[in-house]
Structures are given as structure tokens and as C-alpha cells.
Amino acid sequence: MNRARMVSKLLSQAPPGTPLVAVRAWLGVGARGKASAPPPPTALAAEPFLNGSSSNYVEEMYTAWLQDPKSVHQSWDTFFRNATRGAQPGQAYTSPPTLAEPTPHHVPLSALAPISAGPPAAALSQKTIDDHLAVQGIIRAYQIRGHSIANLDPLGINTPDPKNKRSLVVRNYMDQFQEADLDRSFTLPMSTFIGGNEKTLTLREIIKRLEDTYCRSIGVEFMFINSLEQCNWIRQKFETPGVMHMEPQEKRLLLARLTRSHGFEAFLARKFSSEKRFGLEGCEILIPAMKQVIDRSTSLGVESFVMGMPHRGRLNVLSNVCRKPLEHIFTQFIGLDTGDEGSGDVKYHLGTYQERLNRVTNKNIRLAIVANPSHLEACNPVVQGKTRAEQFYHGDSEGNKVLSILLHGDAAFSGQGIVYETFHLSELPQYTTHGTVHIVVNNQIGFTTDPRMSRSSPYCTDVARVVNAPIFHVNADDPEAVMHVCNVAADWRNTFHKDVVIDLVCYRRNGHNEIDEPMFTQPLMYTRIRKLKPVVELFAEKLMNEGVVTKQEVKEVTDKYEKILEDAFQAAQTETQVFNKHWIDSPWSGFFEGKDPLKATPTGVHEDTLFHIGRRFSSVPPNASDFVVHRGLLRILNSRMEMVNARTVDWALGEAMAFGSLLKEGIHVRLSGQDVERGTFSHRHHILHHQKVDKSQYNILANLYPDQAPYTVCNSSLSEYAVLGFELGFSMTNPNALVIWEAQFGDFNNTAQCIIDQFISSGQSKWIRQSGLVLLLPHGMEGMGPEHSSARLERFLQMTADDPDILPAFTEDFAIRQLSDINWIIANCSTPANYFHILRRQIALPFRKPLVLMTPKSLLRHPDAKSSFDEMTEKSEFQRVIPERGPASENHQNVKRVIFCSGKVYYDLIAARKDANLEDKIAISRVEQIAPFPYDLVKQECLKYPGADLVWAQEEHKNMGAWSYVQPRFATALNQERHLTNEIQRHTQGSVEHGSQSWYEYWFPWLFPTSSPTDVAADSTDSQSSTISSHKRVVRYAGRPASPSPATGSKKTHIRELKQLLEDALAL
Ligand SMILES: Cc1ncc(C[n+]2csc(CCOP(=O)(O)OP(=O)(O)O)c2C)c(N)n1
Ligand SMILES: [Mg+2]
């Protein structure tokens, strides 16, 4: 049907009382879209007032309604509800929706017809209607596709052919117009703001204004957003005439900021020409852009900014955005020794924390840039976790005070999956940061690779569309346009608390780094780049032409900054050391002060506390009569209560006791991971669900004491990389919190490998940043196949930075000194009490260390894996080794074998030993804390049984599990006499190299005064054997043979292997 005739038809058929405006709105949509929503219900489709192209609009409404009923007008909501409930055609309809609140420039279609000429529908000519519909189509086309022909690329490479670019946007909407029509006036629909206070404009002016808005230096991508309110908000922000206006003083400030951004890179290029710095040349606008976001957000109430960024322009951001002292930056180039702890990192990875006055708003603000590794985008979830934690501890429940800003490179943004995973945290209740401002330095290249080779999406920013974030593409050579976009982004985040993306389309003036030759791979691009003037020059010329600044003023601003740089450079020359502590991104003021650095507080608690927590944890909610608990859960609660009354705990109860007692002491506990609320193995049940009322829940541990700390337990998205990164970030903010990430099964930790390798194991050494984060990794061979058996204990142990050949001195503070010196703690507890203590010890320590815990599966319900309250009360503590306590320990002279093991296999071993009647001949000791290795206790246990041979029994294959870690350490514990000071130990910590000097070089002269490193390396066997006494005791391996796969897929083979290993371990 012809559109005009359809309008007439609709107008005459519209249900009584239908405002014509709504009908017009129904028709103001383009062709059937690619909406993926199911078609509206049949009753709906049969509605008398819906037909032809109006159904497109209805479909859009319906799609939006399906996703969020509140996103459509109330009348649509009622209509769809009625229709989906099966109302007959005509009955579902109540009153029609409007597209937006009418505003002065919104004119209903009725206005198109002469006021006095009979019934309105009849008076409208088909041409009038057709033309207005086409105009409306044109407007909508620009809103949807205008960005695709915008002038975004300062290089002019990706600019569409000017001849047909308009038709790419408007398609055939212009076909019906002649040249003369351009000067006809049209009434503006309410879906546009281009008119300002004017209700009509000529078609020529309409197109001009639309092109000014959507096709110049800014490309706005937003029409995919489901919320009409949000779309209108954006239209208003960009379409309203004069929105881009800047006052002269704002332009001068912008020029000054650009001057600094440019000057900083130019100065470094001059002074350190052969150093890599990953300069910002080609995107100098980044600095004013970030400052604008910060200024605007500060004026809207934000006090703290947590930022993450890659290498590009990082030093410039540190200096010109965060105001990190220039001397600190310059000394990083000079190559000085480190004056404090840590192995350090390259300068373009370091973080910072600064508090300063925002001069534009005159408010104090905090700025943190989170340190990050080379691994692009890996810091995204860390930033989000840190931001969330700051919001949480400041009671900033809507994110009004703390804002995260994430910077990205174009290739990394589209290429790295962590970006997508992080976006998916953005709206989750326990993970949201209430909107992040993303800024992409889109220099249209990634190292040497062109975009057409590095992504399949049209824009590098398309990943952001999954969360309905608006995307503002902007030509980075138009500074004023960039500032406008930044203001809108800050306002958007402040208004809707949702993510937003600024895509700075720019170029990279140099190679990937300053010593790289870009002409090898991008000759044409770089030929063009070399002809381009820096943006600061272009902008200064523009402002001089406008009479906003004089040449003299431009020079003064440049010279002033040059002097600041030169003075700082001279000051840096007098420095003799660099300090890693100057680069801490998350300082913990007051945490370390006044503490004995080697004294932990006790971890045992009063029996009353155990009873109180235990009883609460075993009880239904206080409003039990209203809250229907599942029958199966009631049984679980009852059996918990029985355990409490018997003064015993199983794993879940032991964990609850640890959490509850910390909560009582004011320590926030946060447990996050997939399905953690119930627990993968259905053992935890921290959240009770009302069986009759949807979303009615009871968080048991949050209700233990009236004045307790908050308890957060949250099922996460199905991500390891992002969620672990997030929790790491969370743990960096407040040392007085126990932050725990649990993997569904331990082996899934390897999809978060980068967070483990680059942040957790080496973070303290590289960035002197501590974290007490706990990783709970279900681990154990239970015949469940290759993928649910191993948390890859061996990998964690291999990254543990303690030298297997160095026996630390057995001082009184041995245990805590070891913990202080190590990079992380790896344990596999076999009792609930020990689990209880090790969790509490995380907080009792005067420092923070990551804790990687292998956790049980079948032991959760094993009748022997229980602990008495006595093992958790005041006199008790964490046991690094649980020695044999049975008959063998009383008969130690006659014991033939000591089996050392860790974790669940202990229970298999004791059962088999009992069956074999060997309880007085074989001692079985459990190494609960594997790293740092309990040399003292292991040695003590071996010495206790002088006539026994020693076996390490493990269920993991020989090339896995703890064997390769414990074997050399047993040898050292048993046979090496050399005791080295802990000073050496401290230098073994952390990441691979010791800043300028390796650990090896550092300590070599001390360890081997007469040899050179090469001599000893070549002769290492001799030098080692010389320290070993003649009566060598060795530990033998009992377990599965080496294997490529962590476990068999066959239950039968599993049982056979287990039997074999038990026989092997116990055969005397
Ligand atoms: C995860 C990861 N893979 C590869 C690299 C190596 N790398 C460093 S920079 C770079 C190119 C990055 O391009 P882009 O994100 O566009 O940033 P740009 O350097 O252009 O600013 C690559 C591949 C890396 N650092 N991290
Ligand atoms: Mg790039």
C-alpha cells in the first residue's frame, strides 16, 4: 500500500481518541529491521489499528518491551501485557503512546493539515504526507547512519567518496524531491532537536543541520540503544543548535592543554631520542580529552577517578593528567638504581596515585592509574574491581563519587576477549561500577597490522554495543568536537550510570615505538602522515584566525611549559636512585604503621563465637513463618545444627565460622565466582531462596550480628579472566577485607592465566602492591575425567619464588618470615579447622599475600573430614604440617616409613593403611602449606623417624601436583647444611628479573666468593653435592606415572590407578 494512502486509512481507522501524533509516529519508521525479537503475539498482530509499516514500529516497541517493559510508554506496556495475556483484537488497546514528552517544537501530524478544512484526515494531501514521511525518513537515516559518512579520519584515508556519500545515508528517501523542494518548509517531527525553537525548517536547512550534527567531525552511533529516553537524550545533546559552542577562555585552556600534551612528547623525543616511550604523537588530544572528562565529572560530583590504560601516551597521562612529578618520570629514563624493595617494571607499565586540586572546579580529587603488564586490556577488570571497591567502602551506591576511565588501543579493543568479558560485568548488581567512560586511541593501526587484517567488525568499538553503550566517534584533529564529545560522555555517565565510548580517530606519527620504522609496512599511510601538521599547530592557527589568541600568547604558553620541563629535567639529573614506592597505585594509608611486620594476631576464636555463628548458620530466617525454605535445605540446616551441638564442623561450617568470625571483627568478606552462593557442590547455601516468592532471599552470614561488617556473596558471570581480575582489583583497595574468588572447578583458573601470572604472582615484586586475595580452586582426582580433576597445582608452585636449594635459617619467627618473603601462599588443607585458620590468617598477618588454596570436592561430605571446635578455639592455630598422631607416632623408633602427602589423598592413605594393618609401622604426615615450604616441620618429622624411609605420595600424575616442587626442598631440608639469611630470601621474591640487576648477579659474589657465575653454572652438581652430608636421605615418589592429561576419563582406570598408588605408597 502506498504510504500516503495508508496514513489516510490509519487516521480514519484509528481508535476513538487516538492522538494523531501517535499514528504518525507508528508510520515514522523505516523498512522492516533486523530485529531479533520474536514476532508480537498473534492477537497483537491482528489488532485493527496495526497494519502496513506501522507494524515495524510496533515490532520495535515490542522488542524494547520484551527487554524492559519500562523502556516503552506505559500505554504500550499495558497494551502488550493485555495482548500477551490473550486479549481479543481491539481489547488490548488502551491509550496510545507518544514517542516523547511533547516539547514546544514537537508538532503533531494534524498540524500538517489546514486547521479548518473538515475532518483532518481528509484534508491532508497525499503529497504533503508523502513528503513529510520522506523528511522524517531522512532525519532518521542521518541519526542511524550519519556516522558512516562522517569526516572522522584525520588522514582522509577512510573517508567515503563525496559523490555518493549522501545517498549511503538517505538511500531513496530523497528520490521524490526536486531541487526546488529543498527550499520548501517542513514541519519537524518530534524525534529531532535540530530545529531548536523553530518548528519548521526548509529541507535544505534540515539536511544541512543533520549533516553538521552527524557527518562532520563527530559520528554518533546510538540508534541501536533500546531505550527511547536515552536515544532522545543523545539526539538532544548533539542536534540542538549551538551545542558545540565554546567560550574563548575554554578554547584558550584547550590550546594550553594541547600545548602541554605536544610539548611533553617533543621534549622526551629530544632528550631521550633512543628510548622507547610509546608516545602520543598523532593523538595529543587524548590529554585534553581526559582532562575534560575529569573536569566535567568533577563538577558533577565525582571525587575519585580510577583509570586503566595501555602503553600509548601513558607517560604523558601520568604527567599531564595525574600531575605525577616530572622528575619521577625523567629519572625512569636515566637508568638509576632502585632505592627500595621490588624488582620494578618498565616505565610505561607503572601505576600512580595522586591527590590534587582540580583547578577548573576548585575541588580536590583523587586520581589512580592502575599498574598493568604488557598484556593489553588485562587491567580492565582490575580497574573495575578497584573502582567497585572504592564505591563500596565509600557507601557510593550509585557511583556518584567514584568513576572508572578505561583507555584502549583500537587493535586491542576489538581483539582482546577480556574487553567483552569486562563489558558483561558492567550491569551486574555486585560488579557494576555504574558506568565507565571508555576512550579509544584509535590510531588505525596495531603495531604493523591494518584494521582490515585485525578485525571483522566495521568499527573497533563494536564490542561496546553489547551493553547498549553509545559510541561517539570523533576526528581527533578537531579539538573542539572532541571536547563536546567528552562533555556528553561525562553527562551520559552521570545521567544514566552506564558505559559510554569515545573513539578518538587519530593516527600514530611514529612507528609502534619511537625506534620502529613504519614505512616498512604502511608506506602510503606514513607518506601522508609526514605531510600532516601536529594538531596543536592546526588549532593554534585556527584560534589565531578567530582572534581568540595572538601568536605571542601561543609562544608564551609553549615557552612556559618548556621551562617547566627543562627545570624538572635538570632536577632529575641530581637524583641518584629511583623508588618503586613512588609508583604505588593503591596506597594503604595507616595499614602498616605501628605494626610489628613479623607478628600475626591469633586466629583461634572464643567457643561462644563458634556456637553463635554455627547456630545462626543452621537456622531458618527470623521471619521463618513467612519465608518458605526448601525441605532439602531444612534437612541440611538440621544436620548443621547437630554438628554444632556436637562441637564439630564440616567444610562448609568451618568456612562459615571463618567468615562469620571475621565479619564479627569488622572485616568485610566478599566471595565471588560462578555459583558460589549455593556452591558448585551444593554444600554452601549462603543464600536461602523463598520457595514461594520470586527473588526473595536471605543472606545468612549477613545477619549474624547487628554490628557486623557486610558480607557479600555473589554468583558471577561465566568468566574467569574478568572476574578474577575484578576481585584482584577489589582486594587492592582495602586491606581489611577478605576477598575470595572461587573457580567452579580448579582447572578453569587457566582461562584467567594472565591475571595469575602477570598480576597475582608477580604484582608485589613489580609494583610493590600487596593483595590478600584468596583463590579457592576445587582440586582432586575423583574419577570425574581430565577436566574436573586438577587445579594445576604444579603451575602455582613453579611460580613460587623461593629457591629450592637455599635452606632458610630456623629462627623463632621462621614461619611468618617465610610468608613475608614469599610472593604467594599455596596450600591444600585437609581439615575444616585448618581451612578456617588459613582464611583467618589472611587477615591476621601484618602484610597481605595472595593465597592459592586447593579445595576439596568429595571431602566436603567425607565423614572423617571434620574438625572439633577445639581445633578452632583460642589456643589453636593453622598447622603448616599435620604430623602423624596415631600409633606410629608413639612408636617412632620402629616406624619403617613416613609418607608425606597433601590434601584428599590422605584419607585414601589412612584407610588403606588401616586395611593393611600398618598403623604402627607407617606414619602419614600432611603438608598443608606447600609453599612456602615448611622446611622446619618437615625436617622435624623426618628426624623423628630415623629408621624410616621417606615417601611422597600424591594422586596427581608425576609431572603434576606438588612432586617437582617438594622433591628438591625435601633434599635441601634433609641434607643441606647451608643456612642463609632472610635478606637473600627477600631478593628471591617476585618477578623474573631484579630491575637493573638479576638476583643471580646480585647475590652471586656473596654466595660464591671465589667463582664466577659461569664456573658455578657449569659445575652446579659438584657445588651442590659438596654441601650434602654423606648420609643422604631421599624422598621417594609414589603415585601415578607422568601423563599428558591430568586424569583418565575412565572410572575403572581411575580406581585401578588409585589402588596402584596406595599399594606403591604402603608396600614395605
Ligand atoms: C595481549 C597482548 N598481545 C600482544 C601484545 C603485543 N603488542 C603490543 S602493542 C600491540 C599493538 C597494539 O595496537 P593498539 O591496541 O591499536 O594500540 P597502539 O599501539 O596502536 O596504540 C601489540 C600487538 C600485547 N602487548 N598484549
Ligand atoms: Mg592502534
What is 956-968 written as a DSSP string? Answer: EETTSTTHHHHHH
- Cα 377 to ligand 1 centroid, rounded to whole Å: 9
- The span from the CA of 793 to the CA of 958, in Å, is 12
Residues 663-685 have a mean pLDDT of 97
Q: Which of 46-60, 241-255, 292-306, 354-368 has the lowest mean pLDDT?
A: 46-60
Cell of 305: 577517578
Output the average pLDDT for the chain. 87
Q: Is 409 in the pocket of ligand 1 (CB under 6 A)?
A: yes
Indicate if the alpha-carbon torsion angle 83, 85, 91, 92 is positive or negative.
negative
- With beta carbons less than 8 A apart as the criterion, state whether 509 and 281 touch: yes
Tell me the residues surrounding ligand 2 (ion) with CB < 5 Å: 409-411, 443, 445-446
Q: At which residue does the C-alpha cell 558505559 appear?
A: 499
Cell of 131: 513528503
Q: Is 92 in the pocket of ligand 1 (CB under 6 A)?
A: no
* Residues 65-101: b if buried by 16+ CB within 10 A, e if exposed: bbeeeebbbeebbbbbebbbeebebeebbebbbbbbe
Beta strand 577-578 pairing with 337-338? parallel
Q: Is 309 in the pocket of ligand 1 (CB under 6 A)?
A: no
- pLDDT bracket for residue 342 (50, 70, 90): confident
- pLDDT bracket for residue 118 (50, 70, 90): very low
Q: At which residue does the C-alpha cell 578505561 appear?
A: 406
User: Considering only CA atoms, which of 6, 21, 175 is closest in space to residue 97?
Assistant: 21
- The span from the CA of 748 to the CA of 617, in Å, is 29
How far is the CA of 262 from the CAs of 530, 532, 546, in angstroms?
16, 14, 22
- Cα 128 to ligand 1 centroid, rounded to whole Å: 55
Three-class secondary structure of residue 985 per DSSP: helix
Ligand 1 atom closest to residue 508's alpha carbon, by position in its atom list: 20
Q: What are the tens digits of pLDDT across the range 530-556?
A: 999 999 999 999 999 999 999 999 999
Q: What is the CA radius of gyration of the chain?
A: 34
Which residues touch 403 (CB under 8 Å, ≥6 apart)?
297, 302, 304, 305, 306, 387, 433, 435, 436, 437, 493
Which residues touch 1048 (CB under 8 Å, ≥6 apart)?
785, 786, 1054, 1057
DSSP codes of every residue in 82-109? HHHTTPPTTTS--S---SS---TT---G
Three-class secondary structure of residue 201 per DSSP: strand
Ligand 1 atom closest to residue 377's alpha carbon, by position in its atom list: 1
User: Considering only CA atoms, which of 48, 477, 417, 549 is closest in space to residue 258?
Assistant: 477
Cell of 777: 580452586
With a cut of 80, say whether residue 1006 has pLDDT above it.
no
Q: What are the tens digits of pLDDT across the range 44-68?
A: 444 444 443 344 455 566 666 677 7
Q: Is 131 in the pocket of ligand 1 (CB under 6 A)?
A: no
- Cα 455 to ligand 1 centroid, rounded to whole Å: 13
- The span from the CA of 162 to the CA of 167, in Å, is 10
- Cα 637 to ligand 1 centroid, rounded to whole Å: 52
Q: Is 656 in the pocket of ligand 1 (CB under 6 A)?
A: no
Evaluate if pTM is beyond 0.75: yes
- With beta carbons less than 8 A apart as the criterion, state whether 484 and 472 touch: no
Which residue has the CA at smallest separation from atom 10 of ligand 1?
Answer: 447
Q: What are the tens digits of pLDDT across the range 598-612?
A: 999 999 999 999 999
- The span from the CA of 547 to the CA of 535, in Å, is 18
Q: Which ligand is in closest contact with the Cα of 380? A: 1
- Cα 350 to ligand 1 centroid, rounded to whole Å: 17
Ligand 1 atom closest to residue 408's alpha carbon, by position in its atom list: 15
Q: What are the tens digits of pLDDT across the range 459-511?
A: 999 999 999 999 999 999 999 999 999 999 999 999 999 999 999 999 999 99
Q: Which ligand is in closest contact with the Cα of 278? A: 1
Cell of 1040: 601415578
* pLDDT score, position 26: 27
Encoded amino acid at 393, one letter: Y
* pLDDT score, position 337: 78
* pLDDT score, position 163: 83
Q: Is 411 in the pocket of ligand 1 (CB under 6 A)?
A: yes
Q: Is 444 in the pocket of ligand 1 (CB under 6 A)?
A: no
Ligand 1 atom closest to residue 442's alpha carbon, by position in its atom list: 16
- pLDDT bracket for residue 349 (50, 70, 90): confident
Q: Is 412 in the pocket of ligand 1 (CB under 6 A)?
A: yes
Q: Is 758 in the pocket of ligand 1 (CB under 6 A)?
A: no
- With beta carbons less than 8 A apart as the criterion, state whether 572 and 831 touch: no
| Residue 1034 φ/ψ region, left for φ over 0, alpha for ψ in the -120 to 50 degree band, beta for the rest | beta
- With beta carbons less than 8 A apart as the criterion, state whether 771 and 732 touch: yes
Cell of 45: 498482530
* pLDDT score, position 351: 85
* pLDDT score, position 1050: 92
Residue 739, φ and ψ in degrees, nearest 5: -110, 125
Q: At which residue does the C-alpha cell 531462596 appear?
A: 689
Chain-centre distance for alpha carbon 588: 21
- Cα 1029 to ligand 1 centroid, rounded to whole Å: 52
Q: Is 312 in the pocket of ligand 1 (CB under 6 A)?
A: yes
Q: What are the tens digits of pLDDT across the range 636-648?
A: 999 999 999 999 9
With a cut of 60, say whether residue 9 has pLDDT above it.
no
- Cα 308 to ligand 1 centroid, rounded to whole Å: 15
Residue 849, φ and ψ in degrees, nearest 5: -135, 140
Give me the percent of the chain exceeding a pLDDT of 90: 74
* Mutate-to-test residue for ligand 1 from 285, 376, 463, highest number of ligand atoms within 8 A of CB: 376
- With beta carbons less than 8 A apart as the criterion, state whether 801 and 990 touch: yes
- Cα 461 to ligand 2 centroid, rounded to whole Å: 12
Ligand 1 atom closest to residue 754's alpha carbon, by position in its atom list: 1
User: Considering only CA atoms, which of 992, 898, 890, 888 is closest in space to residue 937?
Assistant: 898
Beta strand 807-808 pairing with 979-980? parallel
Which residue has the CA at smallest separation from atom 2 of ligand 1?
Answer: 375
- The span from the CA of 405 to the CA of 379, in Å, is 11
H/E stretch holding 436 reads strand 436-442
DSSP-derived secondary structure letter, 709: P
Ligand 1 atom closest to residue 376's alpha carbon, by position in its atom list: 26
Cell of 705: 550480628
- With beta carbons less than 8 A apart as the criterion, state whether 84 and 41 touch: yes
With a cut of 80, say whether residue 889 has pLDDT above it.
yes
Q: Is 513 in the pocket of ligand 1 (CB under 6 A)?
A: no
Q: For helices 651-664 and 607-617, give the axis angle rounded to 10 degrees.
A: 110
Q: Which of 51-55, 210-214, 549-553, 741-745 has the lowest mean pLDDT?
A: 51-55
From the CB of residue 115, how many other CB atoms can be counted at a distance below 10 Å?
Answer: 8
- With beta carbons less than 8 A apart as the criterion, state whether 688 and 621 touch: yes
Encoded amino acid at 955, one letter: E
Beta strand 897-901 pairing with 922-927? parallel
Q: Is 460 in the pocket of ligand 1 (CB under 6 A)?
A: no
Q: Is 446 in the pocket of ligand 1 (CB under 6 A)?
A: yes
With a cut of 80, say whether residue 340 has pLDDT above it.
no
Q: What are the tens digits of pLDDT across the range 518-529?
A: 999 999 999 999
| C-alpha count within 13 angstroms, C-beta hemisphere, residue 170 | 21
* Residues 756-766: b if buried by 16+ CB within 10 A, e if exposed: bbbbbbbbbbb
- The span from the CA of 85 to the CA of 694, in Å, is 20
* pLDDT score, position 131: 93
- Cα 293 to ligand 1 centroid, rounded to whole Å: 25
Query: 400 vs 103, which has greater pLDDT?
Result: 400
Residue 901, φ and ψ in degrees, nearest 5: -155, 180
* pLDDT score, position 69: 77
H/E stretch holding 355 reads strand 352-358
- Cα 155 to ligand 2 centroid, rounded to whole Å: 14
User: Considering only CA atoms, which of 690, 579, 551 is closest in space to residue 629?
Assistant: 690
User: Considering only CA atoms, which of 253, 255, 282, 252 is closest in space to residue 266?
Assistant: 282
- Cα 523 to ligand 2 centroid, rounded to whole Å: 16
Beta-bridge partner residues of 713: 671
- The span from the CA of 262 to the CA of 285, in Å, is 9
* Mutate-to-test residue for ligand 1 from 413, 447, 510, highest number of ligand atoms within 8 A of CB: 447
Provide the strand spans (E) within 662-806: 668-673, 687-689, 697-699, 711-715, 737-742, 774-778
Q: Is 447 in the pocket of ligand 1 (CB under 6 A)?
A: yes
Cis, peptide link before residue 932, omega less than 30° from 0: yes
Chain-centre distance for alpha carbon 562: 38
- Cα 730 to ligand 1 centroid, rounded to whole Å: 26
- Cα 374 to ligand 1 centroid, rounded to whole Å: 8
- Cα 411 to ligand 2 centroid, rounded to whole Å: 5
DSSP-derived secondary structure letter, 112: G
* pLDDT score, position 223: 97
User: Considering only CA atoms, which of 480, 290, 431 is closest in space to residue 369?
Assistant: 290
The H-assigned helical ranges of 665-799 are 721-733, 753-754, 763-767, 793-798
Beta strand 337-338 pairing with 304-308? unpaired
DSSP codes of every residue in 134-194? HHHHHHHHHHHHGGGGS---TTSSSPPPTTTHHHHHHGGGGTT--GGGGGSEEEPPTT--T
Task: Using alpha carbons only, give the angle 328, 333, 337 rounded to the nearest 5 degrees.
Answer: 80
Ligand 1 atom closest to residue 378's alpha carbon, by position in its atom list: 1
- The span from the CA of 305 to the CA of 294, in Å, is 8
Three-class secondary structure of residue 65 per DSSP: helix
